[in-house]
Amino acid sequence: MTRKNINKPDIKVPPELQHQVAVTTLDKIYNWGRASSIWPMMFGLACCAIEMIITAASRYDFARFGMEVMRPSPRQADVMIVSGTVTKKMVPQIVRLYNQMGEPKYVLAMGACASGGGPFKEGYNVVSGIDKFLPVDIYIPGCPPTPQALLHGLIVLQKKIEKEKLSTSEWYKKEFHEEIPVPLLGPDLMDPRKFSLYMEKSKTVEEDQTTIDISESSIGEV
């Protein structure tokens, strides 16, 4: 972000001081610092991860945008790039890592698999999009996306961060508590947030089965 973007346009700075003084708002300077120091979490899932690695290498080098610090610890990262096929066995670990990241944090769904299941959508072991479990901020199309596409997605995320306001940000509110329940891997993947729905459905199935048993016994008696 340049000095021109930081300056508050309705406050005029004398020409002789324009190269020494910048008048801005707390939102702008704070968001400028955050957008210029995006730290992705360092993990990959499938072929999209290779494109992510290439983006960090010398040819594309997203260090030019302040994104070069890829952290192996979720405590030190603020962007999760879900790069590749999300299997049901991997979702609990992804959600657990997301919960361990500090606020504010963002999620990029990189590629067709992370966005909607991709060519494996009908597979028995693949989740049809990470947005079923995590709030996704940016979707990056492609199978796999090119390094340029990932760079574009990160730049779009920067623009989103620059527009946020401290006064309306949810993570600064006292009542904010965003911890997503970790899915349970049983016979199938179960979301704890939907347990009440599961119980209602199982109860309905049991009642229907009881009705069928009663009707069959009545037929036998006749």
pLDDT band at 123 (very low <50, low <70, confident <90, very high): confident
- Read off the pLDDT of residues 48-99 as tens digits, 9 standing for 90 and up: 999 999 998 888 888 888 887 888 899 999 999 999 999 988 999 999 999 9
Per-residue pLDDT at 222: 47
User: Pick the residue with more confidence: 144 or 206?
Assistant: 144
Per-residue pLDDT at 161: 92
Residue 4: pLDDT over 70: no
- Asked if residue 8 is part of any domain, the answer here is no
**Distance in angstroms (rounded) separating the CA atoms of residues 192 and 186:** 12
**Distance in angstroms (rounded) separating the CA atoms of residues 54 and 32:** 26
Mean pLDDT of the chain: 82
CATH for 110: 3.40.50.12280
Q: Does one domain contain both 71 and 127?
A: yes
User: Pick the residue with more confidence: 105 or 170?
Assistant: 105
Residue whose structure tokens are 């993947």: 189
Residue 197: pLDDT over 90: no
Q: In which region does residue 212 sit, left (phi positive, over 0), alpha (psi from -120 to 50) or beta (all else)? A: alpha
Residue whose structure tokens are 């594309």: 60
- Read off the pLDDT of residues 10-62 as tens digits, 9 standing for 90 and up: 667 777 777 777 777 888 888 888 888 899 998 889 999 999 999 988 888 88
The alpha carbon torsion through 113, 186, 90, 47 (nearest 10 deg) reads -40
Residue 188: pLDDT over 80: no
Neighbouring CB atoms inside 10 A of 17's CB total: 10
Q: Considering its fold, how many domains does the chain have in total?
A: 2
- Asked if residue 169 is part of any domain, the answer here is no
Exposure string (b/e) for 150-185, b if CB count within 10 Å is 16 or more? bbebbeebbeebbeeeeeeeeeeeeeeeeeeebbee
DSSP 47-76: HHHHHHHHHHSTTT-GGGGT----BSSGGG
- Structure token pair of residue 209: 């089965």
Q: How many alpha carbons lie under 13 Å from residue 102 in its C-beta half-sphere? A: 7
Per-residue pLDDT at 16: 72
- Asked if residue 186 is part of any domain, the answer here is no
Q: Does one domain contain both 46 and 147?
A: yes
User: Whole-model pTM?
Assistant: 0.76
pLDDT band at 5 (very low <50, low <70, confident <90, very high): low
Per-residue pLDDT at 26: 81
State which residues form the domain around 198: 191-221
- Read off the pLDDT of residues 132-168 as tens digits, 9 standing for 90 and up: 999 999 999 999 899 999 999 999 999 999 888 888 8
Q: Does one domain contain both 48 and 123?
A: yes
- Asked if residue 17 is part of any domain, the answer here is no
- Structure token pair of residue 41: 């979490």
